[in-house]
Amino acid sequence: MLAKAWAMTKINDLMARGTALLGSEYAILCGAMSWVSERNLVSAISNAGGFGVIACGAMTPELLDAEIAATKALATKPFGVNLITMHPQLFDLVDICAKHGVGHVVLAGGLPPKGSLEAIKASGAKVICFAPTLAMGKKLVRSGVDALVIEGMEAGGHIGPVSTSVLAQEILPTLADEVPVFVAGGIGRGEAIAGYLEMGASGVQLGTRFVCATESIAHPNFKKAFIRASARDAVASVQIDPRLPVIPVRALKNAGTEEFTAKQREVANLLDGGNVDMIEAQLQIEHYWAGALRRAVIDGDVENGSLMAGQSVGMVTSEESVGEIIASLVQQAEAALHTRG
């Protein structure tokens, strides 16, 4: 009993800066997942003691306005909004977040454009950014971000080239004292959470582990594919044309994986013919992913749609409530801390 109390205190201490920043019971973020991280999952995560984040993705300001309002109606605890930096109406989306008094904005998809950090901070919200390298992390801290996420290539969705374990070793010793750092990518159990906390992280961000939550609106076919899959089924997309740099996406292998190869050829041909410039070519690729993910998550077309999933998918073995998932992650982390302590 005493040992359990010690482990509970220990995890609260290790997460203290993360929970203070987020205003949640546990510093466990559910990373924004396009089409999946909407009002139901986001409010369930926050209400269960974690921190939910709405995925704005390609939503218009009007749609985001409605989604935030609906989430506020369901959530009794704070939640955040994830905005993609390349969204053409980024500043209008920031205004919508400000209108609703959203306390935390996560900026994803590249360096924050000029003026965006200032605009978010002027609304009183905290800004959380992704640090792909130590140098970039230092730069973001100097620009005034309130927290960082470091995400390894084990993650589901768009990924960088470096693994979570290496990023954690490179970035935590230098930046964890400066701002709270949340580690993401490949986390499926609490023992790993305990490990990153002991290395200096203030919390963690998980995506894949929450996709099959009872409260997630993902189509039953999408959830079934996750429950069946193992780590090695979650593969990174391959760039087929050196002239068209595409950000790799990790997803479960299916016919859609081949379709992406065809899509790249089509866009590369447009580029060659001078019909589109590089920015437009890359936007077309991103639109392709958004559509393919919708097909799988919402319509349940798990053959041709995109099954974005991280390598931790093998640890998703059943549909459970968000409360059960968070409780087991915390219990595993506490047990690990107790054994090690």
Residues that bind ligand FMN (CB under 6 A): 31-34, 36, 55, 57, 82, 108, 151, 154-157, 184-187, 205-209, 308-310, 312
Nearer to ligand FMN, 34 or 282 (CB): 34
Beta carbon of residue 210, minimum distance to ligand FMN (angstroms, whole number): 8
Nearer to ligand FMN, 81 or 244 (CB): 81
Nearer to ligand FMN, 42 or 176 (CB): 42
Beta carbon of residue 85, minimum distance to ligand FMN (angstroms, whole number): 10
Contact yes or no for 253/235 (Cβ under 8 A): yes
Nearer to ligand FMN, 57 or 200 (CB): 57
Nearer to ligand FMN, 18 or 186 (CB): 186
Contact yes or no for 209/201 (Cβ under 8 A): no
Nearer to ligand FMN, 7 or 308 (CB): 308
Beta carbon of residue 78, minimum distance to ligand FMN (angstroms, whole number): 17
**Phi and psi dihedrals of 330, rounded to 5?**
-70, -40
Measured distance CA(110)–CA(203) in Å, rounded: 22
Measured distance CA(305)–CA(254) in Å, rounded: 8
Measured distance CA(275)–CA(238) in Å, rounded: 24
Measured distance CA(149)–CA(80) in Å, rounded: 14
Beta carbon of residue 98, minimum distance to ligand FMN (angstroms, whole number): 20
Beta carbon of residue 138, minimum distance to ligand FMN (angstroms, whole number): 21
Nearer to ligand FMN, 111 or 276 (CB): 111
Beta carbon of residue 158, minimum distance to ligand FMN (angstroms, whole number): 7
| Chain position whose Cβ is nearest to ligand FMN | 207
How far, in Å, are 169, 246, 250, 323 from residue 233 at the CA level? Answer: 27, 21, 10, 27
Query: Which residues touch 207 (CB under 8 Å, ≥6 apart)?
Result: 30, 31, 33, 155, 156, 157, 184, 310
Nearest Cα residue to 293 out of 218, 186, 216? 218
Nearer to ligand FMN, 156 or 200 (CB): 156
Beta carbon of residue 33, minimum distance to ligand FMN (angstroms, whole number): 3
How many other CB atoms are there within 10 angstroms of residue 253's CB atom?
13
**Phi and psi dihedrals of 98, rounded to 5?**
-65, -40
Beta carbon of residue 272, minimum distance to ligand FMN (angstroms, whole number): 30
**Between β-strands 51-55 and 147-151, what pairing exists: parallel, antiparallel or unpaired?**
unpaired
